[in-house]
Amino acid sequence: MRGDWIKYLRPLGITLLILVVLEIFSTALLPMLGLTKYRIPFNVLLVLYLGFKIESPYTSLFILILQYTHSFFTIEGWEMGTIAGVMICIVISYLKDLLHLSSSVITIIITQMFQFLWFFIVAILFYIREESFAYIVEKFWRFVPESIVISLLAPLFFSVLDAIWRTESDRALGDSV
Amino acid sequence: MRLIEDKERRQKAVLNILVLLIAFVGVAKRSKTLDETSAFENILIDSFAPLQTSLTSIRTEVASFFDHYVVNINASKKNVSYQKRIDELEGEIAQFQELRRENKRLKDLLQFGTGVDYKKILAQVVAWDASSDFRVIRINKGLADGVTLQSPVITANGLVGYIYRLTDSFADILTVLDNNNRVDGLIQRVRAHGIVEGYNSEKSIMKYVSRAEPIILGDVVITSGLGNIYPKGIRVGKVSRIERESYGITQNVEITPAVDFGRLEEVVILVAEGDEQKKREWEALDQMDEDSEKQARSKR
């Protein structure tokens, strides 16, 4: 049990390092180049990868740690992303026999689908807090281009993360979850 | 009878529920107006933010090189026109100084209350928020430089926002474009009150303005001084659209902020100088309350 936990420390550490580098790139460089309206949510990409590929009882804790690191770069906090990430993990565990990340196109499509689910969960939480439907609509129009960029980046990032986490690239989602 | 037989699955289900519960409690407890960081968060934000600063600096240096050396063909011609403009503005400043002295004399005559003095701290923008849902910028000044939570932040053009999150060396500003930031505003020409809220990445809206107020496009909106965060008279922006429904008692006014957030590089933080004294007074009052409660209890 203890050894089980320790084997995840190294890949988790490297993933956190990747997240920090990407967040710095996204928050410091892109806005300075005039891209202030949109931000690339790399945390979503990494959390989705954990949900898709990591077969561990601790996945929800990994998501929490990733989101907590993300919260150093945003006032959004770690909570909403954690809720969305864990819920997506639960959904994946039910759809495991239907989904396979067998090619880049399939990876892009599946990532896009689950980003819609992510948006839906976060939008509900925002609506409860803000009580403004107009805000959700505005958020949706920002979400569309941001999520497309994330989906297009997914095959590349997933292959890098496969090497870090030593998972098989062509496998049914959530096997043995 | 066990609900989930497999040990690993059971463990996963328990952890999922636990993490979800903690996250839901976190969402419910999260404040919209400010975020007080823990010592651990303080250390980590202060460790990551210098990396953001260095990336911003590299970009600024490169841009500066191109702006100042490469794209510098008409500089001498521009210098002549700028010198002329400076002379004109210096004349205007002299007039304003005279008006300020006159204003002070008249205020003294009327025995007006004195305004709060503010210490000005210059800071550089080092990063933006990682989520596009929030219009927040990070600056390179923090507690160690004398910045306090909820201090107003401005530029020469107008209001930027207030300090939402603070660490030793860095601070996050909730800008007027963020819909969690609410400013009590005043239409300068007609003195009509309303609440200015962030709307999207370029505009704010002014709510609860009486329908009877004769607002026109281009009217300047300033801070009213109510709400205990922003001092009175800071320029917020200009009216760029007016929406009057056929029913209701208010009108919605769209405002284009005075500050160009896309080109924001430096800001000024206004820290109220009386803050420390006020804090000590409150602490003394709290202490007195506690002492009197203790005395009352001991008498019983």
Contact assessment for residue A96 and residue A173, using Cβ atoms and an 8 Å cutoff: yes
Interface subset of B 190-219, CB within 8 angstroms of A:
199-202
- Residue B103, chain A, CB below 8 Å: the answer is no
- Residue B4, chain A, CB below 8 Å: the answer is no
Interface subset of B 226-265, CB within 8 angstroms of A:
261-262
B74 pLDDT above the threshold of 90: no
- Residue A35, chain B, CB below 8 Å: the answer is no
Give the mutation candidate from B133, B136, B265 for the A interface (greatest A CB count, under 10 A). Answer: B133
Sketch the domain layout of chain A as residue ranges: 2-165
CB spacing of B134 vs A90 below 8 angstroms: no
* Higher-scoring residue by pLDDT: A40, A131: A40
Residue B230, SS3 per DSSP: coil
- Residue B39, chain A, CB below 8 Å: the answer is no
B117 pLDDT above the threshold of 90: no
- Residue A34, chain B, CB below 8 Å: the answer is yes
CB A74: neighbour CB atoms within 10 A? 25
- Does pTM surpass 0.90? no
Residues of A in contact with B9 (CB under 8 A): 57, 177
Describe chain A by its helix, strand, coil percentages, rounded to 5. Answer: 75, 0, 25
Q: Looking at CA atoms only, how far is residue B16 from chain A in angstroms? A: 6
Report d(CA B234, CA B227) in Å as an integer.
14
Contact assessment for residue B167 and residue B142, using Cβ atoms and an 8 Å cutoff: yes
Q: Which tokens in the block code for residue B282?
A: 């409150």
Report d(CA B186, CA B234) in Å as an integer.
10
CB spacing of A83 vs B27 below 8 angstroms: yes
Q: Which tokens in the block code for residue A52?
A: 């898709």
Confidence of residue B157 (pLDDT cuts 50, 70, 90): confident
- The listed range with the strongest mean pLDDT (A58-72, A119-133, B127-141, B248-262) is A58-72
Burial class from Cβ neighbours inside 10 Å (0-12, 13-18, 19+) for residue B26 reads middle
| Dihedral over alpha carbons A45, A48, A52, A53 (to 10 degrees) | 60
Q: What are phi and psi of A57, to 5 degrees?
A: -65, -15
Contact assessment for residue B70 and residue A110, using Cβ atoms and an 8 Å cutoff: no
- Residue B66, chain A, CB below 8 Å: the answer is no
Domains, in order of start, for chain B: 182-258 (2.40.10.350)
Tell which CATH classification among 1.10.101, 1.10.1760, 3.30.70, 2.60.40 matches the domain A2-165.
1.10.1760
Residue B259, SS3 per DSSP: coil
The string of pLDDT tens digits covering residues B172-199 is 999 999 888 889 999 988 889 999 998 8
What is this model's ipTM? 0.85
Give the mutation candidate from A36, A55, A130 for the B interface (greatest B CB count, under 10 A). Answer: A36
Q: Looking at CA atoms only, how far is residue B255 from chain A in angstroms? A: 17
CB spacing of B126 vs A28 below 8 angstroms: yes
The string of pLDDT tens digits covering residues A126-167 is 888 877 788 888 889 989 999 999 999 999 999 999 999 888
